[in-house]
Amino acid sequence: MQSVISVQALNKIYQDVTAVDNISFEIEEGHCFGLLGPNGAGKTTTIEIMEGIISATQGRVLYKGELVHDNISEQIGIQFQHTALQDHLTVQETLNFFASFYQQTLTSEELTELCDLGEFLNRDNRLLSGGQRQRLLLALALINDPAIIFLDEPTTGLDPHARRTFWQLIKNLKAKNKTIILTTHYMDEAEQLCDDIVIMDKGRIIESGTPHQLLNKHFQDILIYLPKEQISEQLMLKHKWNLLGDQVEIKSKNVEKTLSLLMTNNVSLEGLQVKSANLDDLFLKLTGHSLVETSLTA
């Protein structure tokens, strides 16, 4: 596939703080590209440079081989982390107002369908739920029918149902061959949506690739957990299984063979849990701390 965005040796320094530290990556057309990391990792600074909002200290961003230029705002759509909506306007009036900023726009009907706005088109902005507000903000990012869409932590603070509704909207956009750049500190969101990811920490890229590639690269084992009282200390020591609190952790490359071994040794499988590594496990392995924890305390 064609690379639609090329980020080359990007740096951003604020006085003594290096917010973005010499990062490079490529984004393919029609892909959902994830920038992952905790608050303060440099994600928002990176995409603000890509959007042309702030300038880089060093490095450059190319769109289909050309440098970012003044009219880039006509070609991209942006859903910011924080956007103020005008009080006393309805959703429909807000769509009309923002459409007036562009020469060419999608119709209100198209935006309503794309972002599932129908049930609250005539509702005052102040009365929107968190999920409804985010769907309206997505519609505003799509008004000019951009080929490239930036979504900066769009589901932060949403309840699980609203998050999954928003995920489906993003999947619908991908089906239309839109290129999506998504920043998030939710690893399950990245696993659901992203074709390619870059994991950032302290301004640097610490890993990149597809979610499947990265998990296969860093984790060869499936984890099996059983209550410790069901496994004898002798069996645990023999196979070098780990005791974690009140559970025994068994690392297995072949779950069927491991379960057969347990049953052969008359181990009860009651309470058994089987867990594959996920992207949060990967972040913990790479950085020594949990992404969720660092995002909550940053």
Read off the CATH number of the domain in which 167 is found.
3.40.50.300
Residues 241 and 99 in one domain: no
Residue range of the domain that includes 133: 3-210
Asked if the structure places residue 128 within a domain, the reply is yes
Look at the chain and report how many structural domains it folds into: 2
The reported pTM is 0.83
Buried b (16+ CB within 10 A) or exposed e, 119-132: ebbebebeebeebb
Q: What's the pLDDT at 104?
A: 87
SS3 142: helix
Distance from the Cα of residue 124 to its chain's centroid = 30
Structure tokens at 149: 């869409």
Single out the residue of 13, 11, 8 nearest to residue 24, CA to CA.
Answer: 8
Please give the residue that has the higher pLDDT: either 82 or 160: 160
Could you give the CA distance from residue 52 to residue 35 in angstroms, rounded to a whole number?
A: 17
Asked if the structure places residue 292 within a domain, the reply is no
- Quick count: other Cβ atoms within 10 Å of Cβ 27? 23
User: Where does 52-186 have alpha helices with state H?
Assistant: 91-99, 108-115, 130-142, 160-175
Q: What's the pLDDT at 78?
A: 93
Residues 94 and 176 in one domain: yes
List pLDDT tens digits, range 190-247. 999 999 999 999 999 999 999 999 998 988 888 999 999 999 999 999 999 999 899 9
Could you give the CA distance from residue 31 to residue 178 in angstroms, rounded to a whole number?
A: 7
